[in-house]
Amino acid sequence: MLSGKREARHVLRCAVRDEEKRGTFFGVRCVTKKSEARSSVCGTRRMRVCLRNRTEKEMTLDEIARELNLSKSTVSRALSGKGRIGDATRERVISFARERGRSREEAKPERVRTGNIGVILPADVYATGNPYFQGCLLGVCETASMMDFNILLTTATSNDISNIRALVEKEKVDGIILTRSLEEDKAVQYLTDIHFPVGMTGLCGRDGVLEVDIDNEGAAEQLTTLLIGQGYQRFALVVENLSYQVNRSRYEGFCRALLKSGISREKQFFHTVPLNMELLDSLIHNIMSRRVECIVCGDDVVCTRIMARLQAEGYRIPRDIAIASLYNSSNLGCFTPAVTAVNVSARQVGNMIGKQLIQYILGKEYDPRVMMDFEILLRKSTDTVHREGR
């Protein structure tokens, strides 16, 4: 049996645990407001109500009961939500506990800023060598250096965000930059739940995330419309993974261009699964057997693989088949012929997201969403002048 002050603390902690299971403390979600997040030197974390900490200043049932001139049992029933008690009394107790907890929380010192930003690359970047992430990282590093911040680099996958958790929970960084947006993004969920400063090179549509991207859907629609205007009617769209938000946007832009041009979507060829070398020959065979006129690749990595294999097998581009990419890199300009593509500066995207996140951390003016410009590079890989009748 417990007695006196120990019993009061035990009952109160049980009440708090009951509330915490429902995602609240004393009937409300105790998290800081957006305005408070901006004024914090290092961002904000989930507010920990003082009642949860076992310190000398811990609030007890006796304290609440004495302040409100109520019995301890009444206070306990109000906080736990169990037992018979009037709504007015319950609200009075909850309001008092919440305000007392807030006043003590506000008196806590702020965590010292580290001057570090965590940049999270996809774990597969080392296997694919995707130039986009290299350019983006360079841009972030340039901005961070100019603004007197350092970069800590790590990786994550869709199912493993342990490296991100380590950076945050060990207080190694003041903010996180994610370089890939996923449909069901555990990293975004985790970081926004704890109100940690986070930026993304892409779009996720969640409050609390700073976003820098291009209009990938609009770019895909514009390029496809231009190809249709050149006379192409039968396409193959090759994107590796539709769980990546950027690929989903490009897919939708491509389909929208077909719809607006009155071209049947059913007559087109779609490949929307990861592309490995074992599948490449089979993919090209299927594309050529369907008499596809133009291949539209989701990005430069996919395009490089397909272009190299087509030329290795003796296909003439664009005479036998045309090819274009929804993202450009220096690789695509080195082919003969050079490949038509959507051109974006990944370095500038990195510059911008780094700037916006650091501005946010420092409590300065920032833009929560920035859309960067793009251009369409029409090159000889889609030149209809050199195509033969098929």
pLDDT digits (tens, 9 = 90+) for 208-232: 999 999 999 999 999 999 999 999 9
Predicted confidence at residue 287, as pLDDT, reads: 94
Residue whose structure tokens are 């370089």: 179
Give tens-digit pLDDT for 306-356. 999 999 999 999 999 999 999 999 989 999 999 999 999 999 999 999 999
Query: Do residues 383 and 231 lie in contact, with contact meaning Cβ atoms separated by under 8 Å?
Result: no
Before 337, cis peptide (omega within 30)?
yes
Instruction: List, in order of start, the domains of the chain with CATH numbers.
Output: 4-106 (no CATH), 116-212+348-370 (3.40.50.2300), 216-346+376-386 (3.40.50.2300)
pLDDT at 240: 86
**For residues 153 and 164, is the Cβ–Cβ distance under 8 A?**
no
Return the pLDDT at 103. 52
Q: Reduced to 3 states, what is the DSSP secondary structure of residue 118?
A: strand
Kindly report the pTM of this predicted structure: 0.69
pLDDT of amino acid 57: 41
Q: Considering only CA atoms, which of 268, 379, 256, 254 is closest in space to residue 328?
A: 379
| The pLDDT of residue 59 | 64
What is the predicted pLDDT for the residue at 66? 84
What was the pLDDT predicted at 39?
37
Q: What residues have CB less than 8 Å from 346, skipping those under 6 apart?
A: 131, 132, 133, 134, 135, 136, 139
pLDDT at 142: 97
User: What pLDDT, on a 0 to 100 scale, did the predictor assign at position 35?
Assistant: 38
pLDDT of the residue at 154: 95
Spacing of C-alpha 324 from chain mean position = 27
Picking from 32, 176, 14, 42, the residue whose alpha carbon sits closest to that of residue 101 is 32
Give which of 299, 292, 332 is closest to 315, Cα–Cα.
292
Average pLDDT for runs of 10 along the chain of length 390? 47 49 40 37 36 45 83 80 78 80 52 90 85 94 97 94 95 96 90 95 91 95 97 95 91 96 94 83 93 96 94 94 96 94 96 97 95 95 70
Query: CA-CA distance, 338 to 379, in Å (whole number)?
Result: 6
The answer to whether residues 168 and 194 touch, using CB atoms and an 8 Å cutoff, is: yes
